[in-house]
């Protein structure tokens, strides 16, 4: 296992910690959870960068990285459903998109990389989850849930664009 794969694997190790800490949502625990989530999120960018830079792209990494990405997003969202911070049906839309893309990829001989929509989706999900985890003043509840719905919308749009890359999205 190479360095990028170890970094990806470390992201998986953070997921149970995030879920465990969210079970007792004190301010201190939420800040700890947020730090773990953000560190894990940074590894998403770091492992891919290092894999390309060190010429260590591997089949294990191609499998493990997207799996870790999906679990890193879905795990805290499930915890946030339990805390009543996000509606289950919004998380279901994200889950549905992720399962659809994962199922579609299984049958592809060549997987295309993330486009700008996929990157916007990921960044919006990280921002939304961060805002929802952080024990911020009540004023931030509305911007946090708005960011969640932006992330849901970008998740759906990026999925549609990924499945139909030759289709152009109309600006009207």
For the segment 90-144, what is each residue's pLDDT rounded down to a tens digit? Answer: 999 999 998 888 887 777 766 656 679 988 999 999 999 999 999 999 999 999 9
- As a whole number, the mean pLDDT across the chain is 90
Give the residue extent of every domain in the chain: 3-163
The pLDDT assigned to 77 comes to 97
Q: With cut-offs at 50, 70 and 90, classify the pLDDT of residue 172.
A: very low
Fold of 3-163: 1.20.120
Q: Whose CA is closest to 161, among 104, 113, 115?
A: 115
pLDDT digits (tens, 9 = 90+) for 60-96: 888 888 889 999 999 999 999 999 999 999 999 999 9
String of DSSP letters for 129-146: HHHHHS---GGGHHHHHH
Its pTM stands at: 0.89
Q: Long-range CB contacts (< 8 A, 24+ apart) of 55-58?
A: 56/2, 56/3, 56/4, 56/5, 57/4, 58/2, 58/4, 58/5
Burial class (CB in 10 A: 0-12, 13-18, 19+), 8: buried
């Amino acid at each position: 296992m190479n360095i990028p794969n170890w970094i990806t694997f470390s992201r998986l190790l953070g997921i149970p910690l995030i879920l465990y800490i969210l079970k007792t949502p004190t301010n201190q625990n939420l800040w700890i959870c947020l730090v773990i989530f953000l560190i894990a999120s940074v590894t998403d960018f770091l492992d891919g960068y290092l894999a390309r830079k060190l010429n260590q792209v591997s089949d294990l990494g191609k499998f493990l990285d997207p799996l870790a990405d999906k679990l890193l997003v879905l795990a805290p969202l499930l915890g946030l459903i339990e805390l009543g911070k996000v509606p289950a049906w919004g998380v279901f839309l994200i889950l549905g998109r992720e399962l659809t893309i994962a199922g579609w990829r299984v049958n592809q001989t060549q997987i295309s990389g993330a486009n700008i929509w996929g990157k916007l989706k990921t960044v919006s999900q990280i921002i939304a989850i961060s805002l929802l985890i952080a024990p911020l003043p009540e004023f931030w509840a509305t911007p946090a849930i708005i960011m969640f719905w932006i992330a849901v919308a970008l998740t759906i749009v990026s999925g549609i664009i990924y499945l139909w890359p030759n289709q152009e999205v109309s600006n009207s």
